[in-house]
């Protein structure tokens, strides 16, 4: 007996949907959440999306900081040329591993704590 094509496609779609991350998977409420996304291992089904999400948080947070804080008031100053998003992401993950007391902190607040220690402005 042959399984109808429509049933086969429906079963395949259901299986693919079951493997998709839930709606909370790409939330970065805490620093640990952000570090988990930034360090998603190659080979994981959602690795590209998780790392892209991480990079989006990094770029968005710094972009907002860059346009909203006057140069004289900044405490984070990236060198020129600046590090890549991948370098910042891996640096943040390593930094947070050494400081687990910040795991439950707000993701962007802790990200800027890392950035301030790593890329301080020289005045």
- The DSSP line for 42-53 is TTSTTHHHHHHH
In this structure, is residue 7 part of a structural domain?
A: no
In this structure, is residue 12 part of a structural domain?
A: no
53-86 pLDDT, tens digit per residue, is 999 999 999 999 999 999 999 999 999 999 999 9
80-99 pLDDT, tens digit per residue, is 999 999 999 999 999 999 99
Return the C-alpha torsion angle 99, 100, 101, 102, nearest 10.
80
Rounded CA gap, 35 and 50, in Å? 10
- The DSSP line for 63-114 is HHHHHHS-GGG-SB---SSPPPHHHHHHHHHHHHHT-GGGTTSBHHHHHHHH
This prediction's pTM? 0.78
In this structure, is residue 14 part of a structural domain?
A: no
Domain that holds residue 59: 23-118
Report the number of distinct structural domains present in the chain.
1
In this structure, is residue 42 part of a structural domain?
A: yes
């Amino acid at each position: 007996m042959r399984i109808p094509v429509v049933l086969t496609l429906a079963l395949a779609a259901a299986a693919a949907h079951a493997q998709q991350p839930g709606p909370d998977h790409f939330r970065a409420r805490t620093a640990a959440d952000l570090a988990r996304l930034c360090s998603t291992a190659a080979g994981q089904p959602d690795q590209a999306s998780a790392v892209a999400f991480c990079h989006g948080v990094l770029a968005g947070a710094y972009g907002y900081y860059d346009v909203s804080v006057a140069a004289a008031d900044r405490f984070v100053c990236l060198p020129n040329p600046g590090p890549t998003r991948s370098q910042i992401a891996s640096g943040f993950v390593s930094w947070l591993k050494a400081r687990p007391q910040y795991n439950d902190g707000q993701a962007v607040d802790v990200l800027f704590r890392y950035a301030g220690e790593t890329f301080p402005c020289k005045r």
